[in-house]
């Protein structure tokens, strides 16, 4: 990384650190998802199974790593412990086990070698591996939902690429290849069935639960079937780059680069990212989370010696990150939200608000540039 960019990221991280010190005092006992009038909500009160409930802990570990302040470590561990309830209810466990336990228990174990954290993360990995459909060679995404009778047994989603590192970590930690075997089979299936010729990725693919044949694909949280949900593109870029990190299989690196090339060719002049790359021209909704995740993925790709063009991916990762920093960060220390204009799904009623994983990946990307990252994925 060029010296001037390291200095830039260090400078921005100082501002983030100053703001987080204030946010921490107000939110240390919560597990936030979003803000209401600038105040964090608390998912630990009534929605402990929510898929984003590991990111606050992850932010705490990043802040601990950057500042060395003990208070962040304490809150990260409290977040991890609050998730223990999920082990008592199988319906609260799904493919998002990675999002919940990688930034909490695995980060803790990597930094402190805490045995309780290892135990939690292995249990989460066992459950994730148990979702594998061995005929179809994919990991089932979600459980059945209350309130509808849609058959989701054959559904897999691109987001799951980010959960595979829990399986790679479990194999690395236990020396048992089964977890990695499941992850590789799923990654290969995703490579074949999710990535289109032009480098864009589908959000949801439904497979036949007995044969694994592709039945249908869905636009999911994007604009429509066949469209190009930007956060999904980000999950694809970062997820395949991480599968390359853990396996050394160059097909995954090439795939991460292919999705990144598609993303790069669609970045608007402003550097700010819409919710879907093919949303109608008169819709201006943005998703800053997509931008932060894609930036992390491009910086990850650029970090590999075998990368075809590290300068290109680093340059565009930085372009995204600088555009966010210049106009999509709330620096007001009296308000809890950091990254602005995040969108969960195109067809939701609400758009462009604060979402905790946006804050997490924005801070993670800054840490990567400043050389202060943690390999929690
Ligand atoms: N993993 C769900 C989402 O990206 O919204």
How many Å lie between the centroid of ligand 1 and the Cα of residue 360? 14
29, 47, 84, 96: which is the annotated catalytic residue?
96
Which of 34, 159, 222 gets mutated to test ligand 1 (max ligand atoms within 8 A of its CB)?
Answer: 159
Residue whose CA lies nearest to ligand 1 atom number 2 = 159
Render pLDDT for 102-132 as a digit per residue (tens, 0 to 9). 999 999 999 999 999 999 999 999 999 999 9
For the Cβ of 231 lying below 6 angstroms from any atom of ligand 1, the answer is yes
Our answer on whether the CB atom of 75 is closer than 6 Å to any ligand 1 atom is no
Phi, psi of 133 (to 5 degrees): -95, 110
Query: What pLDDT, on the 0 to 100 scale, is given for residue 146?
Result: 85
Give residue-wise pLDDT tens across range 34-80. 999 999 999 999 999 999 999 999 999 999 999 999 999 999 999 99
Of 49, 141, 221, 355, best ligand 1 pocket probe by most atoms within 8 Å of the beta carbon: 221
Ligand 1 in reach of 95 Cβ (< 6 A): no
> Is 159 a catalytic site residue?
yes
The dihedral over CA atoms of 353, 354, 357, 358, expressed in degrees to the nearest 10, equals: 80
The answer to whether 240 and 259 have CB atoms below 8 angstroms apart is: yes
Q: What's the gap in Å between 159 CA and the centre of ligand 1?
A: 6
Sign of CA dihedral 51, 53, 54, 58: positive
In angstroms, what is the span from residue 175 Cα to ligand 1's centroid?
30
In angstroms and rounded to an integer, the radius of gyration of the C-alpha atoms of the chain is 19
Q: Say yes or no: CB of residue 287 within 6 Å of ligand 1.
A: no
Q: Provide the β-strand partners of residue 133.
A: 138
Q: Please report the pLDDT score of residue 170 as a whole number.
A: 98
**DSSP states of 262-317:** HHHHT--TT---BSBTTS-TT---B-HHHHHHHHHHHHHHHTSTT-S-HHHHHHHH
What confidence tens digit (pLDDT) does each residue in 238-297 have? 999 999 999 999 999 999 999 999 999 999 999 999 999 999 999 999 999 999 999 999
CA-wise closest residue to 186 among 95, 299, 90: 95
How large is the average pLDDT for residues 18-26? 98
How remote is the CA of residue 238 from the centroid of ligand 1, in Å?
14
Nearest to 195 by CA among 254, 244, 144, 250: 254
Domains and CATH numbers, the chain: 3-370 (1.50.10.10)
Residues 292, 339: Cα–Cα separation, whole Å: 9
Would the CB of 94 count as within 6 Å of ligand 1?
Answer: no
State if residue 159 touches ligand 1 by the CB under 6 angstroms criterion.
Answer: yes
Catalytic: which of 41, 94, 159, 287? 159
Percent of the chain with pLDDT over 70: 100
Q: Provide the whole-model pTM.
A: 0.98
Q: Name which residue sits closest to atom 5 of ligand 1, judged by CA.
A: 344
Centroid of ligand 1 to alpha carbon of 236 (angstroms): 12
- 326 catalytic per annotation: no
CB contact at 8 A, 232 and 159? yes
């Amino acid at each position: 990384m060029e010296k001037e960019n390291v200095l830039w990221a260090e400078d921005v991280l100082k501002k983030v650190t100053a703001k987080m010190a204030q946010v921490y005092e107000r939110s240390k006992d919560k597990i936030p998802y979003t803000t209401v009038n600038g105040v964090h909500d608390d998912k630990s009160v009534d929605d402990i199974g929510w898929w984003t409930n590991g990111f606050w802990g992850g932010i705490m570990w990043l802040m601990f790593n950057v500042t060395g302040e003990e208070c962040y470590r304490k809150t990260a561990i409290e977040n991890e412990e609050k998730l223990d309830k999920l082990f008592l209810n199988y319906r609260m466990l799904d493919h998002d086990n990675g999002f919940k336990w990688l930034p909490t228990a695995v980060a803790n174990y990597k930094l402190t070698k805490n045995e309780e954290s290892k135990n939690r993360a292995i249990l989460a990995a066992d459950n994730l591996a148990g979702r594998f459909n061995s005929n179809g060679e994919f990991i089932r995404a979600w459980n059945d939902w209350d309130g509808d009778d849609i058959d989701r047994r054959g559904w897999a989603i691109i987001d799951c690429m980010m959960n595979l590192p829990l399986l790679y970590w479990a194999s690395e930690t236990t020396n048992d290849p089964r977890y990695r075997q499941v992850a590789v089979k799923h990654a290969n299936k995703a490579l074949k069935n999710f990535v289109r010729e032009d480098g864009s990725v589908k959000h949801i693919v439904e497979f036949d639960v007995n044969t694994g044949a592709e039945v249908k694909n869905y636009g999911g949280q994007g604009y429509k079937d066949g469209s190009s949900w930007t956060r999904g593109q980000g999950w694809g870029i970062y997820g395949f780059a991480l599968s390359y990190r853990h396996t050394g299989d160059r097909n995954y690196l090439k795939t991460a680069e292919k999705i990144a090339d598609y993303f790069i060719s669609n970045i608007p002049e402003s550097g700010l990212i819409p919710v879907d790359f093919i949303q109608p021209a008169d819709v201006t909704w943005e998703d800053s989370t997509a931008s932060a995740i894609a930036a992390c993925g491009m910086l990850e790709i650029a970090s590999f010696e075998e990368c075809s063009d590290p300068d290109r991916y680093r340059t565009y990762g930085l372009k995204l990150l600088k555009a966010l920093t210049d106009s999509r960060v709330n620096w007001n220390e009296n308000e809890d939200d950091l990254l602005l204009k995040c969108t969960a799904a195109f067809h939701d009623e609400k758009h462009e608000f604060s979402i905790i994983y946006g804050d997490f990946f924005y801070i993670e990307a800054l840490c990567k540039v400043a050389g202060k990252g943690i390999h929690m994925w």
